Each structure stands twice: as C-alpha cells, then as structure tokens.
Structure 1
C-alpha cells in the first residue's frame, strides 16, 4: 500500500542520516500509524458541529416554550452539568455519534450557562471570563478532535466579546495580530511542539485548524461595520504584523528552495513588499496570504483551502468597501491585473535559472 511505501522511505531516510545501524520496530510503528490515522474527514467533523448547533437551537427553543429559562440558578447548574457530560463523553471512543452528542451537550451547556448568568444579572465581561475559563478546562480534558476544536473557538470568541464589552475595541486589531504570530509559530515549530508531550501532540491538529478559523473570523471582524469607533490606524498593527510575518515565511521558503544568491533574494523581498504595499489598509488580504504561504510551506492542505477561499472573500470585500466610483475600482483592478501578468512573465522568463 502507499502508506507502507512512505513509511519504508521515511525509515530509510533516517537510517541514511546515521553512521551506525539503527533498529526500527517497523510493525509497531505501522500499528501506531494505523491507530492514529484520522477516521473522520474535516467535512464530516464540520457536519457534526452543525448537528450540535441545530440540536442546541432546538433545545433552547424548548426552554423558551416551557418558560424554564426564567430560573437563572437552575439554567447555570444544568449548563455546567451538560458541559461536564460532554467532556466525559469525549473521553470515550472516537465516533461520529459520540462526537455529535458531546458537541451538542457542550454547546447547550454554554448557552444555558450564558443565559443563566444573564438572568442572575452578571455582567457581560464576567460571563465572558467564565466562558474562557470553562472552555480552557474543556480544552485540557478533551480527547476528541471536535471538542478541542470547538473549545478553542469558544476561547477566541469570548476574548473578542470581552474586548468589545470592555469598551476596548481598539485592542481587537492587536489581538488579531497576536493571533497571526501564534499561528505562524504553531506552523513553523510543528515538530518541536508535538515532541514536547503527548497532550500537545494529541491536540495539535484541532488547535491549529481552530486557530486558522479564529484568525480568519478575526480578520472579518476588523471591518468598519463591526468596529466603527476604531481608528483606521489601529488596523495598521494587524496588516504590518502580517506583512512582516509574510517576509519571514518568504525567507523560509527561499531557504527551502536553496536560493542563496543575494540578488535573487533581494528581488524576491522587493517584489513581495511591492505586492503587499496596497494591503496595508486591508489586513484581511495580507492575513489570507500569510495563511496561504504557511500552508504551502508546511504542506497543510486544509489551511491552503481555507486561505484560498478567504483570499477571494477579502479581495471581494475590499472591492465593495472602497469608497470610490465604479470606474476607479475598475481601473484599480485592471492595473492590478497588468502588474500580476507582468510579474508572472518575469518569473516564467527566469524559471530556468532557478
């Protein structure tokens, strides 16, 4: 089979790096590989999450009909029990049914806790702090992909909600910039992170995927419609951070391709800066390009797909948000198209040199 050939090639590569003989327990490695192989594709996982959301909405509708939502203490207690039950279920065998039940229970639990605390007149900031604490606890206890994924997203959403409820929306662009740095670190230090402990190795993939979704949603949140009171200069923090990270990833990619000639490197950096210069006012585009390069460098196909779709969305968003006439927008698109065609012809002409 194909995976067996890849396994043999990998073991042969490690053997070639050692001067003496190395004994591998190939049967044990193969068994571990088969055990850790993903049993559910990402679309199935997404459908499971959507099923959990629909179940939570139906259950919340039932509470509204029965009037049970009027008891804040009861809602909070039942919500905590539901979250605990979901975390316990996630400890069991990984299957679509159990994952859906676990996610449904956790989502329902968070809704009940939120409504219960609101009924008890707890401030929104304190509710978000409770959500962050509970989600982090679920993140520690979770053993399933989906619960780890959802817990990470809940932490992300709660942080943004906390910043907005604290009348500090200017910190949202800074938070998104820090999120971009974290994503770059997680991608570039993958081998180091998964070797630290079994706990980190188990949660690495769902957390990485959740961080990508969180980063994209954060970039979408930076639109003026969501942050009307934030000065546009704060957006420069996010876009500048993304551009610096892109230059760093570009440096890594050039090293992978063994580009050592300084003139070629300088030209690559200059063209990269020239291409990214217009995206200073649109952090969504530079953020999507960062995800695209990270996915390419680490061969992370899920990240590549998310980045590609996000890039198309943010380009369209930028086009419709520009306060220009249709003629000016068309000229801008035409000029951008000419630039990229010239850039492609330039690269194609020098392709034989490297």
Structure 2
C-alpha cells in the first residue's frame, strides 16, 4: 500500500464485505500502519544489527578485561543487573532500530556480567540462569530482535543441558522432532494465532524464526556429530541420524499432501506417482537428514510464503550436499550412486510436474 488513501479504501472494502456488526478503528489502523512504515527494516539490516551487537559486546568485554574491571565479582553482579534493567527500560520506552541495537547490546553484556559475577563452575546452573533470564525478559518485552535473541538462548540452553547431561544422541533426535512439529504448528496456525491478540501472537514472528534457525542448527549438529557409524553395533549417533531422517520424511510427505490438496490434484494415479517418487528420493537421502531437512524447509517456507526461511533453506541445501559428498563414513561409490539416483528422481519429478501443468492448462 503506497499511501493512507489506499489503506482507507481497503478498510472500506473490508467493512462493506463483512457482517453488519463488524467495525474497524480507522485512526488506530492508520497510526499503526504509519508506525510500521517508519520503522520497517529488511532482513539485511536486521542481520547487520545482530552482527553489530556481537562486535559491540566483544569490544566492550575486551575493554573491561583490559582495564582489569572483571576482578570484582560483586561489581559485576551489580553492573550486570543495572545494564539489564537499563536495556529493558530503553526497549519499553523507545521504538527504533538504533535503540533496539544499543539496548540489546547492553542486555547481552549485562546478562554475561551477571552470570560471570556469580563465579560458578556449575554448567547446569549457568544454563538454567540463561533460561530464567531470557524467559523473564521475554515476558516483559516483546520486541522482534530481543525476543528472537531470548528464544534462541532458551532453545540452545535446553540443548546444551541435554548435551551436558546425556551422551545419547537420540535425545537430540527427539528434541529436533519436537522443534519440527512446533515450527509446522506455528506456520499452519499463523492466522489463528495472530487473531487472538495475546502473548503468543506478539512473539509469533520471532518464535517462527527461532524455531526455523533451531531446526537447521540441530540438524547440522546431528549430521556433523555422525562419525564412525559402522564401528559399533549400537551407535547412538547413527540411530539419531536415521530417526531424524524418518522425522523429515514424514514431514515432507505431509507437506506434499497439503500442496497437492492446494493445487487440486485429485487424480489417484498421479498422486501415487508423486508419493512414490518422493519416497524414493527420501530413501536415497536417509543417511544424510540435512538434505531432507532442506527439502522440508523449502516446501514449508514456499507453502506458507516465508521468504527469509526459503532463502536460507536454499542456501543450506548445497552445504548439506557438500558435507554428504565429503563424508568419509561412506564410500565414494555409495555416495555417487545415491546422488545420481536422487538427481534422476528429481528430473522425473520435474517432468511429472510439467505434464500435470500442461494438462491443467489444456483444461
């Protein structure tokens, strides 16, 4: 929408097509739209802001270390608490990308100083403190960048707790499955969540981004942790790898089912052909769930029109393919056969899709 007049026309059309009791506060809608227009930032600026936050935190901590100000633990606790409060107040009162970046920098430094000042070697306690601080801040402030940071801290702290207390990689596979389910539910019920106008609706966008990034990160961790698969008859890393592949296989088949319903594909033979080709492709990639994860995320983001996720999924695909090809756990012959088979199946799927498209165009 280029101006307020166009926005008002859309509001008028929506009011005209709705039920008699339906009302819209035009002034509030225009004010909110103007606020979003003035403070709109693209994903590149957000990424640069996050990189700026990281560099600012490292520079500030280096200055503290150089000035020998990290010796007094009590000073660290007090200063960390003050910085946390100052950052939260700044985020609550002001709304701009500069204030967001500065406040989040203070928040990250304050959180680190507070935890470091406690002078504990208990890793579990440190991770629990990270979860508590992030959860409390998330309830108080629901700004995009800070909410995203807090959710990533919570998710990765939980995974770190699992890694610190359990050596069994199967736990990671189940945790990854839960994240995949949560990501699908958040994406599938986006309109319902936003309409509720509650706490979940306010953090819906950063929650989706955090779940998406966590899905990629946990999958990469499981794939990269898969070593010496065949040296032990019971290898939890290998089992986790295959469980993750099964998770993504089920998710992909379900997404294909939803896409076919949306496209109106009702021909039984064609549906069976698509399912068969899909299963054959998934079987060929079972030893590297990163490939099937990329396919699932591409389908999910394409179906729900999530541009950032779609771009990142497409970038992740070559990485997982590269890792698969240079993985020394499998012979070159095995990898070549699987890659050739996958390529042939993708080509077959391409022709099936084109034939379907031509048939619809003829109709």
Q: TM exceeds 0.5?
A: yes
Match of residue 159 from structure 1 = 158
Match of residue 98 from structure 2 = 97
Match of residue 146 from structure 1 = 145
Q: Report the 3-state secondary structure (helix = DSSP H, G, I; strand = E; otherwise coil) of the residue aligned with 2:95.
A: coil
- After superposition, residues 108-147 of structure 1 pair within 5 angstroms as 108-117=109-118, 119-121=119-121, 123-147=122-146
Match of residue 57 from structure 1 = 58
**Is contact 2:245–2:288 with CA below 8 Å preserved after alignment?**
yes
**From 249, 253, 262, the counterpart of 2:255:** 249
Match of residue 351 from structure 1 = 357
**Is contact 2:223–2:241 with CA below 8 Å preserved after alignment?**
no
**From 286, 297, 315, the counterpart of 2:292:** 286
Unaligned runs of 5+ in 1: none
RMSD: 2.8
Match of residue 210 from structure 2 = 210
Match of residue 189 from structure 1 = 189
Q: Distance in 1 between matches of 2:11 and 2:242?
A: 44
**TM-fit CA distance, 1:182:** 0.6
Match of residue 232 from structure 2 = none
Match of residue 222 from structure 1 = 222
Is the alpha carbon distance of 1:114 and 1:19 closer, same or farther for their aligned partners in structure 2, counting shifts above 3 Å? closer
For residues 183-239 of structure 1, the C-alpha deviation after alignment (integer angstroms, 9 at most, x for no partner) is 011100101111222432222112211221121111111134488874311222222
TM-score, structure 2 normalization? 0.86
Q: Distance in 2 between matches of 1:169 and 1:102?
A: 39
- After superposition, residues 266-345 of structure 1 pair within 5 angstroms as 266-326=272-332, 329-345=335-351
Q: Report the 3-state secondary structure (helix = DSSP H, G, I; strand = E; otherwise coil) of the residue aligned with 1:158.
A: helix
Q: Report the 3-state secondary structure (helix = DSSP H, G, I; strand = E; otherwise coil) of the residue aligned with 1:70.
A: coil
**Is contact 2:11–2:24 with CA below 8 Å preserved after alignment?**
no
Q: Report the 3-state secondary structure (helix = DSSP H, G, I; strand = E; otherwise coil) of the residue aligned with 2:223.
A: coil
Is the alpha carbon distance of 1:342 and 1:83 closer, same or farther for their aligned partners in structure 2, counting shifts above 3 Å? same
**Is contact 2:15–2:23 with CA below 8 Å preserved after alignment?**
no
Q: Distance in 2 between matches of 1:132 and 1:172?
A: 18
Unaligned runs of 5+ in 2: 229-234
For residues 84-136 of structure 1, the C-alpha deviation after alignment (integer angstroms, 9 at most, x for no partner) is 3222221122212211111111211232233233x233x10111011011111
**Is contact 2:298–2:313 with CA below 8 Å preserved after alignment?**
yes
**TM-fit CA distance, 1:39:** 1.4
TM-score, structure 1 normalization? 0.88
Match of residue 236 from structure 1 = 242
